[in-house]
Structure 1
Amino acid sequence: MKQHRWIAVSAAILTAGCGNEAPPNDAKAPAGNFTPEPVVVYAAYADETYLPNLFADFTRDTGRRVVVRHRDAATIVDDLIADRGSPAADVLLTPSVYGVWKAATEGALRPLRSESISGTVPAMLRDPDGAWTAVSVNAATIVYDSEKIDADAIRGYRELGDSRFDGQLCLTSSRLPINRTLIAMLIAKDDIRPAERIVRQWVANLAEPPFATELQLVDALQDGRCVVAIVSSQLQVGSSRLQQFLPEAAHFDISGAGVARHARQPEAALQLIEWLVAKRVGTLAETKPRQDVSTVAWQIDEATKLAERARYP
């Protein structure tokens, strides 16, 4: 049986308990009774308890509090671009490359001047102009039922459109960032028509309509309602029957961070981003995407239109 390159990619952004690396050397608590202003983070994450819990560690390490303002991805980025949020943002943190890319394109982020970031995060995971960086990575993995499919039958995403998988494929909604950026990657790599052909073949092979969440999809796999699926690496699927692997030409999305153009605490904002990168230094340094993640962001609008044409909700 062919040996797949098995997953070593991180889970969702800064998964609980991740990384034991020390924060940057300058991350020291201030002396005396001085209480610095908090760092304000604009974030687009559904779990509104996780980031405050995570940033409690940053406060303990540095003595600086962090205030998190949650909104959906589109709203939080638009608020940053228009500078209409209150309190004003110091840091933008998004679960997909598109959010930080759009903010940078609209001039809403200032350059990240950090040797620790440039020396740790591969160039393919950073903005070519230095406005944002990945703080974690998320890959589109393939999960299959090893009792029904041989590992040699699947090499990558394209094969999931083969007729042999008719009625056996499960997908989550194209609105999920990992799927939207995967389609954008196909467009960037193959152009629009070949990419649309692949997506239409996926849709034709679906066992059930796309699921709203990955947990629902995994339930379908476990119940035998489908035998193969695309799942983000943030969800680790492990069992004696279900096998998860990373294709050789794997697609990577990122959780991205940048310092807001109108940041009131720009130095502390950069310190927080460096701290986040230090949490994931091993995974970030080892991730080797085949193309710059920013090239995917350019194709997001086309990917949205393609999904609509292919009737992939």
Structure 2
Amino acid sequence: MKKKTLRLALFLMVLVIAFISCKDDDDSTSSIPVRDRAEQQLADKDSLLDYLSSHYYNSAFFETGSDHKYSDIVITELAEGETVPDGHALLLDVVETISVVFLDVDYEYYILRINQGGGESPHFTDYVRTRYEGSVVESGDVFETISTPEDLPLQGDGITFFGSIKAWQLVMPSFNTATGFTTEDGIVNYQNFGLGVMFIPSGLAYFASSSSGIASYSNLIFKFELLQYEEADHDQDGVPSYIEDYNGNDDVSDDDTDGDGIPDFIDTDDDGDGVRTINEDIDNDGDPTNDDSDGDGTPNYLDEDSTQSNQDENS
């Protein structure tokens, strides 16, 4: 998953195009007016809680056996006057409620955690291998089904590919990948992987934008399997992208050490000193973050006063 290094002018031009066209952006190109995010979240919360209090799932099915699939999760609406059948659980009674601040708005989303998974957890910037089904809360319609494992970027670079919706960046790192896999007759079978369902408000999904099968301001449901992940280094500078979230706000787009308009995670020269970040790995151990030539506590690749290069030493 190597990415090409682009010059600043090209980056800025394409970034403007990406900003205008990205599905997450509030400025929808449709005629639907953009609503206030805080007000929409209140409406979305009511819709989600109504759904969770009126639907149940087949909980007993997952008490036996192992390595269940997302397709085994059956969510059913309560009929009028009906009580939750034996072997099932009302969603509202079993989901986890998670609060997060996004774009200065307090959001709530909900997770049905069926299996945590026994492997490692991805970071919000990584690539994940997953199977899933997405549906719309309001209509119940399924808009996408991925039954064959697919690799998806949680974080896009805004140029060559776009990332997932915010909810996926929040939920996937809270699960673990599979502990391993076997291959038989060309079919890969994963063991003890993360399995769950996320119920998310429109503000953590597409908000005012629309997509195929998804109307503006739709609340979404994803049944999913987290199978594997790959740590991302978007600019191939030797520093994993998640580390370049220096202010710790789970957003790498606002970390720009040299102020050149290019976020560090896609900037091959983070400190703007003319030495590529990868070349400021002086000890050539594959990790530029532990090289501090002048001992001032700032690694060379973030210190514009340290211009030593491993290319100079090797020449």
Q: Same fold (TM over 0.5)?
A: no
Q: Which has the larger radius of gyration?
A: 2
Structure number with the higher helix fraction is 1
TM-score normalized with structure 1 length = 0.25
- Decide which structure has greater strand share: 2
Give the TM-score of the pair, scaled to structure 2: 0.25
Higher relative contact order (CA 8 A, sep 6+): 1
